[in-house]
């Protein structure tokens, strides 16, 4: 775990949280969230009773709650039950509180939108367009970003055809591609840009997006021709695809006299 701890305010009340570099997730103090939503004078007792109820119901959620050391009111570091964002949103469903209703409504809205997008994929692109505009991206950048989503989908479809497992294996191969063309692993790239939870592609420049698309599109085409089997062979193809973009990157940098790997991100842009 990293030592990146912080406190956020929710309805003027403090909620402790911790950023984990390995999982790239925020973990929140469950007791602090309950203190806000349940408005209970004994949030620890409330959580203890709720946790027992979840365990009795054999809820999957009760098994996923972890513990981390967080600073208590007396200033000492004490073990505290924590939940990531997904677990926290599921936990909120078990808390009968008017303050929890906005979260529940948001979840229902998100779920409904996903159903709509399955039936009409254009809605997903339209919503993505609006989200990126609100974040301050230009229409030209958004056009590149949406194209990169299409290229990525073609690559993951190819990986699926090759029998690879979504999740860990996809992440390993993506890291191989990124390392091959940018000389940085995804974590190193995000650290270079000053990112944590944020999506790396959402913080790439136009040129970085183009090179990343070239790397992924090249990997897709090489894979279709060579039909690799298993993770090891697919890693070799991923490196080959990444190196195609690395050659383009090297050529560009020789002409402009500087690296195309930028430390800029959308957070810095919004702060200006």
Encoded tokens for 211: 């090179």
Q: What is the mean pLDDT of residues 177-204?
A: 92
Q: Over the range 228-253, which residues count as b (16 or more CB within 10 Å of their CB) and which as e?
A: beebeebbebbbbbbbbbbebbeeee
- Could you tell me the pLDDT band of residue 1, with boundaries at 50, 70 and 90? very low
Residue 246 and residue 203 share a domain: yes
What is residue 116's predicted lDDT score, i.e. its pLDDT? 54
Give the domain extent around 106: 4-112
Strand 77-84 versus strand 4-10 pairing type: unpaired
pLDDT tens by residue, 63-91 = 778 888 888 878 888 899 998 877 887 88
Are 211 and 238 found together in one domain?
yes
Q: What is the pLDDT of residues 28-53, one digit of tens each?
A: 899 988 887 876 678 889 899 888 88
Provide the domain count of the chain. 2
Of the two residues 155 and 23, the one the predictor is more confident about is 155
Higher-confidence residue of 86 and 153: namely 153
Tell whether the model's pLDDT for residue 197 goes beyond 80.
Answer: no
Which one of 112, 131, 161 terminates a domain?
112
As a whole number, mean pLDDT of residues 118-143 equals 72
Q: Which of 95, 112, 129 is the last residue of a domain?
A: 112
d(CA 213, CA 192): 20
Whether 39 and 126 share a structural domain? no
Residues 178 and 232 in one domain: yes
Q: Hey, what are 1's tokens?
A: 């775990």
Out of 24-38, 78-92, 100-114, 172-186, pick the least confident. Answer: 100-114
Quick one: pLDDT at residue 199?
A: 83
d(CA 267, CA 233): 38
How far is it, in rounded angstroms, from Cα 54 to Cα 94?
9
Residue-level pLDDT at 138: 84
Do 154 and 240 fall within a single domain? yes
82 and 157 assigned to the same domain? no
Residue with the bigger pLDDT between 268 and 167: it is: 167
* Domain match, 65 and 134 both: no
> For residue 80, which of 140, 17, 29 has the smallest C-alpha distance?
29
Q: Are residues 127 and 241 in the same domain?
A: yes
Is the same domain home to 44 and 166?
no
Q: Which of 64, 85, 112 is the last residue of a domain?
A: 112
Quote the pLDDT of residue 140.
Answer: 86
Q: Are residues 106 and 162 in the same domain?
A: no
């Amino acid at each position: 775990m990293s030592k990146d701890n912080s406190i956020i305010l929710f309805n003027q009340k403090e909620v402790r949280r911790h950023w984990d570099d390995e999982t790239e997730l925020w973990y929140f103090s469950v007791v602090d969230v309950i203190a806000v939503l349940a408005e209970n004078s004994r949030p620890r007792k409330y959580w203890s009773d709720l946790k027992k109820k979840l365990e009795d119901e054999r809820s999957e959620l009760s098994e996923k709650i972890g513990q981390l050391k967080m600073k208590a009111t007396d200033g000492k570091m004490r073990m505290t039950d924590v939940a990531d964002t997904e677990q926290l949103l599921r936990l909120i469903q078990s808390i009968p509180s008017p303050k929890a209703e906005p979260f529940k409504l948001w979840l229902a809205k998100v779920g409904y939108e996903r159903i709509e997008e399955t039936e009409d994929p254009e809605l997903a692109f339209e919503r993505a367009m609006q989200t990126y505009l609100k974040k301050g991206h230009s229409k030209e950048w958004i056009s590149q970003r949406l194209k990169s989503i299409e290229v990525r989908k073609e690559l993951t479809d190819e990986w699926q055809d090759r029998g690879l497992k979504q999740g860990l294996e996809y992440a390993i191969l993506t890291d191989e591609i990124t390392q091959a063309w940018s000389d940085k692993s995804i974590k190193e790239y995000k650290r270079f840009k000053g990112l944590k939870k944020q999506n790396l592609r959402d913080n790439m420049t136009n040129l970085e997006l183009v090179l990343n698309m070239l790397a992924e599109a090249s990997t897709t085409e090489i894979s279709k021709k060579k039909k690799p089997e298993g993770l090891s062979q697919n890693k070799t193809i991923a490196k080959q695809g990444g190196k195609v973009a690395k050659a383009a990157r090297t050529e560009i940098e020789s002409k402009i006299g500087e690296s195309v790997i930028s430390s800029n991100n959308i957070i810095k842009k919004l702060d200006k």
